[in-house]
Amino acid sequence: MLRTRRRQVLLGRLLTLLALAAGWQVLGSSPDADVKAVPKLSAVLAALGDELGTSALATALGETLTTTALGLVLCLLVGIPAGLILAAHPALTISSRFVIDFCRTVPPLAVIPLFLLLMGPTQRMAVSLIIAVSVWPILLQTIHGVRNVDPELLSTARSFGLPLWRRLLFVVGPASMPYVFTGIRISATLSLLLTIGAELIAGVPGLGKEILLSQSVPDRMFALITVAGVLGMALAFAVTAIESRLLAWHHVPRAAA
C-alpha cells in the first residue's frame, strides 16, 4: 500500500521533470528573438557532459564547497559558544539583542564591496563574508534554544550534582539542539548563497566565477547554473538528513502525538 503510494509519487515527479524538460527544449528551439539567449536543453546537457570531462568544473566545485563548508563550520564554532554566553543571563540576552537584530538584517550582498575592498577577491574574503552574515541565525537560535531548555531537566541535573560543564554538555546541549538546527539549516543555505555571490560579484575563484566567465557561452553558463542548483539542493538535503538522524527523539514523539 505504502510502497504503491511511494511509487506513484515518484512517477508523478518524473513526469513533471520530463514535462519541464520538454518545455525547455521547445522554448530553446523558438525562433523568437527575445528568447534567443536561452539555449536548447539538449545543448545545455551536451555542454554539461563536456564540462564533466574537464577538471575545470571539478576544481570550481571543490573551491565553492570548501569555501561554503569552511564558512559554515566557523559560524558554528563562533555562533554556538557566543549564543551559550549570551543566553547565560537575561540581561546579556536583552542588551545584546538590538545589535544582533541590526547585524542580521543588513542585506548580505550589500557588504560584499566592503569585504572586497578589505581583502581582495580571495577565499579568505568569502569565508569572512559568510561568518559576518550567516553566524546570526545560529547565534540567535542557540540563544532561543538555551533559554527554552525545560527548567525541570536542569533542576534534575542539578539535584544529582552534575557539575556545570556536564550540565552544558549533556543537558543544555542536546535539549537546545532542535532550535540550533533550525539556525544551521538557514545558515547553510545562506552560506552557499554568499559563496556563489562572492564568486560572481567579487571574482573569488569557484563555481560563481566560472558562471560569470561563461556569460558569452550560454550553453556552458546554463550547465553551470544547473550544477549550482543541484549543489544547493544537495546541501539542503544533507542538513535535513543529519537533522532527522540526530533529532529523531525530537521529531518522532511529535509525529506520533
Q: Can you give the binding site for other proteins, defined by CB under 8 A? A: 150, 152-153, 155-163, 166, 170-171, 174-175, 177, 249-250, 252-253, 256
Which residue is it, cell 537546545? Answer: 176
Dihedral sign computed on CA atoms, order 140, 142, 145, 151: negative
CB closer to other proteins out of 155 and 244: 155
Q: Nearest approach, Cβ of 176 to other proteins (angstroms)?
A: 11
Q: Nearest approach, Cβ of 246 to other proteins (angstroms)?
A: 9
Give, as one character, the DSSP assignment of residue 201: I
Q: Nearest approach, Cβ of 250 to other proteins (angstroms)?
A: 7
Residues contacting residue 219 through CB under 8 Å, at least 6 positions apart: 39, 43, 44, 46, 47
Q: Nearest approach, Cβ of 163 to other proteins (angstroms)?
A: 7
113 by Cβ neighbours in 10 Å (0-12 / 13-18 / 19+) ranks as: exposed
Listed residue (125, 137, 144, 145) closest to 79, CA to CA = 137
219 by Cβ neighbours in 10 Å (0-12 / 13-18 / 19+) ranks as: buried
Q: Cα–Cα distance between 100 and 87 in angstroms, integer?
A: 13
Q: Nearest approach, Cβ of 186 to other proteins (angstroms)?
A: 22
CB closer to other proteins out of 174 and 232: 174
